[in-house]
Amino acid sequence: MQTTAINDSAELNGTEVGQAAGDSDQFLTFIMNNEEYGVNILCVQEIRGWESATPLPNAPSHVKGVINLRGTIVPIIDLRQCFGLDAIEYTPVTVVIVLKVETANGSRIMGIVVDAVSEVYTIGGQEMKAAPDLGDAVDTDYIRGLVDVDDKMVILLEIDKLLSMDELPDLSEVSKTLNASNH
Amino acid sequence: MSVDLSQFHQVFFEESFEGLDSMESALMELDPDAIDAETINCIFRAAHSIKGGSATFGFNVVSEFTHVLETLLDEVRSGTRSISADDVDLLLQSVDCLRDLLGSIQSESDIDTSRSDELKQEFEKILAGDSAGVSAADGSSAGDSSAPAKVATTQENTPDVAPVSHNGWRIEFKPSADILATGNEPLRMFRELATLGEVSVSCSINTLPALTNMDPESCSLSWVLDVITNEEKAQLEEVFEWVSDESDIIISPFKVDEAVEKVTASDISGWFIHFQPNKDMLRTGNEPSRLFRELAELGDMAVSVNTSKLVSFAALEPECCYLSWDVSLVGEIEKSSVEHIFEWVMDEAVVDIAPLSQQQTIEKTQSTAPIANISVAKEEQSQSVDQPNPPATVASNDQAPVAAKTNAPAKARAPSKAGESSSIRVAIDKVDNLINMVGELVITQSMLGQIGNNFSEDQLSRLREGLSQLEHNTRELQESVMRIRMLPISFAFSRFPRMVRDLSRRLGKQIELELLGEQTELDKTVMERIGDPLVHLVRNAVDHGIETPEERVAAGKKAGGKITLNAYHQSGNVVIEIIDDGRGLSRQKLIEKALRQQLISQAEATSMSDIQVYDLIFHPGFSTAQAVSDVSGRGVGMDVVKRNIQELNGSVDIKSEENVGTTITIRLPLTLAILDGQLVRVGNNTYIFPLVSIVESMQIDDASVNLVAGGCEVFQLRDEYVPIVKLYEVFNINPDSTHLRDSLLVVVESDGNKVGLVVDELEAQQQVVIKSLEQNYHRIEGVSGATILGDGTVSLILDIPGIVKIAGVKHRMNNSMYGSHQQSEHAINIH
């Protein structure tokens, strides 16, 4: 049931962006390397503090391991490393956002490690700007749009696409380019 | 109104497959020489429901086929046809055919009707074959049943059509209360009826109010008129034409010599009770007069005593009851309330409760002197119908409802069986048990919550108590939940009687199949996946194990062979044994074959233990059958069996003695959700080895390790060389020590080859609950799943074949010669 609901909302959101409808979505934003990123709040299952994860053998470096989330095995992904940012040391105040993402193989629960959780914004479809074309080299499918909140740029992520990508993108380059093009 | 029937299709298919299963097992039980009525009924019922269901959903192929089947079964059931062993075969084939038909309908694939048509023709041939006897019986029974049915249902029944079947009409005439006010006069109508034929009228006064409440202008009476006439129904209806709006009129055909007549509820004005206590009823503390007093409270009552059984005064025993009573109870009384009064004496007395119609009087029954049998009295009463009796005494119609009640067939519930479908049937007691336990859990939780709310040191003991209770509850709950998935192994065994029967016929062998421990419970998933391996093993036993009767007799055994399937629980495992008393495995033949296939060397052949030799049959492509038959012997099978069982974390062993028999023992975990694990530590990581795969573990010194070319290390374990795989290398983690002498070697078996895995430390052995990694992540080579340890951390369960594969790949990348057991041994030889 829940899966369907999320499916529906994802579809709904997708059309909203295109049509610049009056309806608005809520986004949870988080900070990484002084950049603010947003994910659809409907994907967010919970926010928890960092706890040590069981490492997986031969896994890529951004996969920190798996944790036990009330009986479910949940992989933890360091979004910093996955965006090519420098790794930072984890402390108990390091935040893990547990997300429910839709992939081709059904819904998956994943945790992403971020620097800090920031705000919840309500963003209307018309406020959202499409991600600029950064050329063929950079895939921007996982960017849902850009939005300015209080003169800050928030990058809204299409988390379903991002976390189901085989090769995670180097976002440091992208954010630099985005910042340059925005200002 | 249109209903989407497709939503019921799934249920229909499930029920039909169940029905076919029960048909099949009933057919297997069926002994053609002594047909058990219940067995044949069971088969018939299954066929009937499938026919009905398929007709409803428009699966005409199925319903037409089942119809023919049903016709044949019906004749067997009614005893007009005997059944031969060939018929049973044919019926079994039709079960298969139906299963195929239903299967193809379910999967919406093309339906192949050639087989069903063929079978249908066979059945029709059988049915037509001795049609002489059958149709005669059929005809007479049809004649019997159809005639009254026609009378009852056909409205325009003319005298020409059924001149003998009825000679009059019964009219039940119940005018509404204000019929008199509309100027209609019942008397006039009755007079008019009298002109049509002979009329006898009875009047029902049970709706008559007390005199003080009586309204002189309203009609409280109703009548039953029996008109003996050849006139048509329409003529009678004409008489009542003017009052049909204001009254209830039922005109039904009336047959004078018909003893049993239809009774409408309005006829019942009370109950006629025949009460004949056993002699010693008084001793049980029951007092007839008390019963009568209670009855009197229900309504007006008249009692007559029958003293015919009264013995002479001298022989009279004061404590015995020699009397019987007939009680007429008048009033609108529920039968159940009458029964309720006699509830306590039902066992000690004969109590007949029959509806009393209208004004049946006690005098009437008394006239038929000794009321030894109440039915005599009834006949007497019903005969009164055709005599022009005074309206006060009219037919008692008491037989019909009683007969209907007692003749209602005790319809036994067909045995329920769940097929290999996605749904699961759970016994209600298991669910109840679960609910109880959840209740307990909630109580414990609230208790702990209370302690937590205002906690102080002195409550520590209560907290401990609560926690231990919680632990207890959780464990019980876990066990109960597991039990929900458990099914008796008879679901897997049920197919074998049929299979063994068919195979042994085809092969000309006499085989008796014995099933033991059918109630042993096994996880549903395990059950589904063990089915095919079991089929292979049983087939092998039938084909290769058991000899032909001639061979058996020559070997000094009795001609009939025996296969036993036995299942039981043993230390957290389910053990399934397939035992045959056939020719057994021949060590010599196995070795010859293995040598020919170059699976073993001549030196090995002499040194191998029996168990190792028997294990050869699990080698891919190995078959000892002299000739490949269509039953088995193609050399695929045993290796597949072994692989399937190993995938279920199970094991398979063979014990055999030539000319005595073979026993194949399968050990399976109770469930796939739980695994017996050995915890091992490598550096900071804890991994879990499935306990079944561990052969042994030991400390080794560097001296017993040889390095073969390319960097692969092998270890000499007794007379074998075992390649060493370093877990820390495979998983790229940091161990405590990279020196072998500081580590432990866990020897595991993977695909029949032994491999030594290097770990830092062995920790506890425990049962672990298997969790899926793939659910939220993807498959990792060398890891089959994950589990949560007692401290809440996640630990990975190792997939031994996967690890060996990774290690092999890594070594090959290092130009190692390591590949498999044989190769490494070969390498040693060169070395």
Residue type, B253: P
The answer to whether the beta carbons of residues B478 and B528 sit under 8 Å apart is no
Higher-pLDDT residue of B44 and A135 is B44
The answer to whether the beta carbons of residues B397 and B261 sit under 8 Å apart is yes
The answer to whether B733 contacts A55, with C-beta atoms less than 8 Å apart, is: yes
In degrees, to the nearest 5, what angle opens at C-alpha B99 toward C-alphas B96 and B101? 110
Residue A57 in contact with partner chain B when CB distance is under 8 A: yes
Chosen for mutation from A48, A51, A64, A66 (greatest number of chain B CBs closer than 10 Å) is A66
pLDDT score, position A98 = 92
The answer to whether B794 contacts A66, with C-beta atoms less than 8 Å apart, is: yes
**CA of A52, closest CA in chain B: separation in Å?**
9
Taking Cα atoms as reference points, which of B739, B702, B703, B706 lies closest to residue B720? B706
Longest Cα–Cα distance of chain A, Å, equals 47
Chosen for mutation from A56, A96, A109 (greatest number of chain B CBs closer than 10 Å) is A56
Write out pLDDT tens, residues A143-163. Answer: 888 888 888 888 888 887 777
Instruction: List the single residue in B with minimal CA-CA distance to A65.
Output: B794
Residues 6+ away with beta carbon under 8 Å from B261: B170, B254, B382, B395, B397, B400
Residues 6+ away with beta carbon under 8 Å from A3: A102, A106, A107
Strand A152-157 to A35-40 pairing: parallel
Instruction: List the single residue in A with minimal CA-CA distance to B733.
Output: A57
Q: Tell me which residue has tokens 């994910």.
A: A39
The answer to whether B794 contacts A75, with C-beta atoms less than 8 Å apart, is: no
Instruction: List the single residue in B with minimal CA-CA distance to A55.
Output: B685
Q: What gap in Å lies between CA B16 and CA B11, rounded to an integer?
A: 8
Q: How many CB atoms lie within 10 A of CB A43?
A: 24
Residue A72 in contact with partner chain B when CB distance is under 8 A: yes
Q: What gap in Å lies between CA B735 and CA B727, rounded to an integer?
A: 9
Instruction: List the single residue in A with minimal CA-CA distance to B797.
Output: A56
Name the residue among B731, B773, B792 with its Cβ closest to that of A68: B792
**CA of A62, closest CA in chain B: separation in Å?**
13
β-strand partners of B170: B226, B252
The answer to whether B771 contacts A56, with C-beta atoms less than 8 Å apart, is: no
User: Phi and psi dihedrals of B41, rounded to 5?
Assistant: -65, -40
Q: Buried b vs exposed e over B803-813: b needs ≥16 C-beta within 10 Å?
A: bbbbbbebbee
Q: What gap in Å lies between CA B94 and CA B19, rounded to an integer?
A: 13
The answer to whether the beta carbons of residues A58 and A175 sit under 8 Å apart is no
Q: What gap in Å lies between CA B391 and CA B400, rounded to an integer?
A: 22
Chain B hits for A110, CB-CB cut-off 8 Å, are 776-777
Residues 6+ away with beta carbon under 8 Å from A160: A10, A43, A101, A102, A103
- pLDDT greater than 70 at residue A3: no
Chosen for mutation from A68, A96, A98, A103 (greatest number of chain B CBs closer than 10 Å) is A68
For chain B, the residue count is: 831
Question: For B464-472, which contacts have Cβ atoms below 8 Å and span 24 or more sequence positions?
Answer: B469/B444, B470/B441, B470/B444, B470/B445
Q: What gap in Å lies between CA B685 and CA B763, rounded to an integer?
A: 12
SS3 B649: coil
The answer to whether the beta carbons of residues B652 and B666 sit under 8 Å apart is yes
Chain B hits for A59, CB-CB cut-off 8 Å, are 780
Chain B hits for A74, CB-CB cut-off 8 Å, are 776
Residue type, B398: D
E strand or H helix at A182, and its extent?
Answer: helix A171-182
Q: Tell me which residue has tokens 């506890």.
A: B764
Taking Cα atoms as reference points, which of B20, B31, B80 lies closest to residue B53? B20
Name the DSSP letter for residue B208.
P
**CA of A182, closest CA in chain B: separation in Å?**
36
Q: What gap in Å lies between CA A68 and CA A75, rounded to an integer?
A: 9
Question: For B362-369, which contacts have Cβ atoms below 8 Å and span 24 or more sequence positions?
Answer: B362/B302, B362/B303, B362/B304, B362/B326, B362/B328, B364/B393, B365/B272, B365/B304, B365/B326, B365/B328, B366/B304, B369/B308
Q: How many CB atoms lie within 10 A of CB B737?
A: 12
The answer to whether the beta carbons of residues A115 and A97 sit under 8 Å apart is no
Instruction: List the single residue in A with minimal CA-CA distance to B683.
Output: A55
In degrees, to the nearest 5, what angle opens at C-alpha B796 toward C-alphas B730 and B696? 70
In terms of C-beta density within 10 A (0-12 exposed, 13-18 middle, 19 or more buried), how is residue A153 classed? middle
Name the residue among A53, A68, A75 with its Cβ closest to that of B788: A68
User: Phi and psi dihedrals of A63, rounded to 5?
Assistant: -90, 110
Taking Cα atoms as reference points, which of B611, B701, B700 lies closest to residue B656? B611
In terms of C-beta density within 10 A (0-12 exposed, 13-18 middle, 19 or more buried), how is residue B762 classed? middle
Q: What gap in Å lies between CA B124 and CA B116, rounded to an integer?
A: 12
The first and second tokens of residue A88, run together, are 């930072």
The answer to whether A54 contacts B793, with C-beta atoms less than 8 Å apart, is: yes
Alpha helices for B184-223 (secondary structure H):
186-196
Name the residue among A58, A63, A67 with its Cβ closest to that of B794: A67
Name the residue among B730, B776, B781 with its Cβ closest to that of A75: B776
In terms of C-beta density within 10 A (0-12 exposed, 13-18 middle, 19 or more buried), how is residue B603 classed? exposed
Q: How many CB atoms lie within 10 A of CB B236?
A: 21
Tell me, letter by letter, the H, E, C secondary structure of B564-628.
EEEEEEECCEEEEEEEECCCCCCHHHHHHHHHHCCCCCHHHHHHCCHHHHHHHHHCCCCCCCCCC
Q: What gap in Å lies between CA B173 and CA B232, rounded to an integer?
A: 18
Residue A165 in contact with partner chain B when CB distance is under 8 A: no
Chosen for mutation from B729, B731, B776 (greatest number of chain A CBs closer than 10 Å) is B776
The answer to whether the beta carbons of residues B624 and B591 sit under 8 Å apart is no
The answer to whether B777 contacts A73, with C-beta atoms less than 8 Å apart, is: yes
**CA of B733, closest CA in chain A: separation in Å?**
8
Residue A103 in contact with partner chain B when CB distance is under 8 A: no
- Mark residue B585 as left, alpha or beta (left: phi above 0; alpha: psi -120 to 50; beta: remaining): beta
User: Phi and psi dihedrals of B367, rounded to 5?
Assistant: -65, -25
Residues 6+ away with beta carbon under 8 Å from B262: B152, B252, B397, B400
Supply the pTM of this predicted model.
0.46
Chain A hits for B792, CB-CB cut-off 8 Å, are 68
**ipTM confidence:** 0.73
pLDDT score, position A82 = 74
Q: What gap in Å lies between CA B394 and CA B726, rounded to an integer?
A: 102
**CA of A102, closest CA in chain B: separation in Å?**
11
Chain A hits for B783, CB-CB cut-off 8 Å, are 56-57
pLDDT score, position B263 = 41
The answer to whether the beta carbons of residues B669 and B572 sit under 8 Å apart is yes
How far, CA to CA in Å, does B665 sit from each of A164, B573, B651?
A: 45, 12, 8
Chain B hits for A72, CB-CB cut-off 8 Å, are 771, 775-776
Strand B573-580 to A44-49 pairing: unpaired
Residues 6+ away with beta carbon under 8 Å from A8: none
**CA of A101, closest CA in chain B: separation in Å?**
9
The answer to whether B794 contacts A109, with C-beta atoms less than 8 Å apart, is: no
pLDDT score, position B152 = 37
Q: What gap in Å lies between CA B616 and CA B610, rounded to an integer?
A: 10
**CA of A91, closest CA in chain B: separation in Å?**
18
Residue A59 in contact with partner chain B when CB distance is under 8 A: yes
pLDDT along chain B (831 residues), means of 10: 66 82 80 74 82 80 82 78 78 84 80 78 75 39 38 38 56 78 76 78 75 75 78 75 75 58 49 76 67 74 74 71 77 73 70 63 40 39 41 39 36 35 73 88 89 84 87 83 82 85 85 88 83 84 84 86 88 84 82 78 78 78 53 57 81 84 85 81 88 85 76 79 84 81 84 82 85 80 85 86 74 44 38 37
- Note the Cα A146 to chain centre separation in Å: 13
Q: How many CB atoms lie within 10 A of CB B759?
A: 24
Residues of chain B whose beta carbon is less than 8 angstroms from a beta carbon of chain A are: 685, 730-733, 771-773, 775-777, 780-783, 786, 788, 792-796, 806
